[in-house]
Amino acid sequence: MASVSKENYLKIIFYLKQHDVKPVSTSEIANELEISNAATSEMAKKLSESGLISYKKYKGIDLTPKGKKVALGVIRKHRLWELFLANVLGLSWAEVHDEAEKLEHISSEKLIDKIDEFLGFPEFDPHGDPIPKKNGKLPKLTGLVKLSEGKVGGIYNVIKVNDLDNELMNYLTRIGVKLYKQIEIVEKLIFDKSIIVKIDNHNINLSEKIANSIYITQLKNAELN
């Protein structure tokens, strides 16, 4: 079994690879984990020796099939715990991430399978991220765009949010953003790339960073309330 540190490295590599087809650099990993490049390179050597990544200095990092299996297993545990903590124990979506970070490393496969069954084999966590199946397959999320990419006048459904920043999650809660919430784009401001949206009949200005952290799909007329 991989150590906590190794599991976190593999998770970060998987996340970074989702957004880019090229190999992941050690500096990208170091930035995400807030550690030095030297420490990242040292861990990369260990992961390579364990057959979990393919790594050549200055040429980037890719997960091997073995490494991808480990990463998806940890992500499965994390996202099932998030859903359990939210749906069963009533924690907010801003609270579940940090708790799941701890629980994912100490949970047996048997326990996770039981939680999966108890929750009805869900496909998505409280933030809209797909939960890997036991066989490693990920449910598909299609047709999503960032809120920043929506069109003025369009009415959209919130499908997913980036959950790595608790301050962001708390702020979204305060302004009424949650999964499947309807948002109308009122205006886009060119000078700072922020956007004005309407939520529950209130206009709110969102920064470019926040708008890039919310993923949406456009509603059809029949779906509008």
Please check whether residue 77 lies inside any domain of the structure. no
Strand ranges of the sheet holding 214-218, from the earlier edge strand across to the other edge: 145-146, 214-218, 155-161, 182-188, 195-199, 202-206
What is the average pLDDT score of the chain?
A: 90
pLDDT, mean of residues 25-32? 86
Q: What is the pTM of this model?
A: 0.86
Would you say residue 225 has pLDDT above 60?
no
- CATH no. for residue 19? 1.10.10.10
More confident residue, 59 or 29: 29
If one counts every other C-beta atom within 10 angstroms of the C-beta of residue 40, the result is 22
Per-residue model confidence (pLDDT) at position 21: 64
Pull the structure tokens for residue 193: 């790339």
pLDDT, mean of residues 151-168? 90
pLDDT, one tens digit per residue, over 66-106 is: 999 999 999 999 999 999 999 999 999 989 999 999 999 99
Per-residue model confidence (pLDDT) at position 222: 38
Please check whether residue 36 lies inside any domain of the structure. yes
Give the whole-angstrom CA distance, residue 61 versus residue 22. Answer: 9
Please check whether residue 42 lies inside any domain of the structure. yes
Please check whether residue 19 lies inside any domain of the structure. yes
Angle separating helix axes 4-18 and 26-33, nearest 10 degrees: 110
- CATH no. for residue 178? 2.30.30.90
Total domains present in the chain:
2
Per-residue model confidence (pLDDT) at position 110: 96
* Parent domain of 205: 145-223
pLDDT, mean of residues 6-13? 90
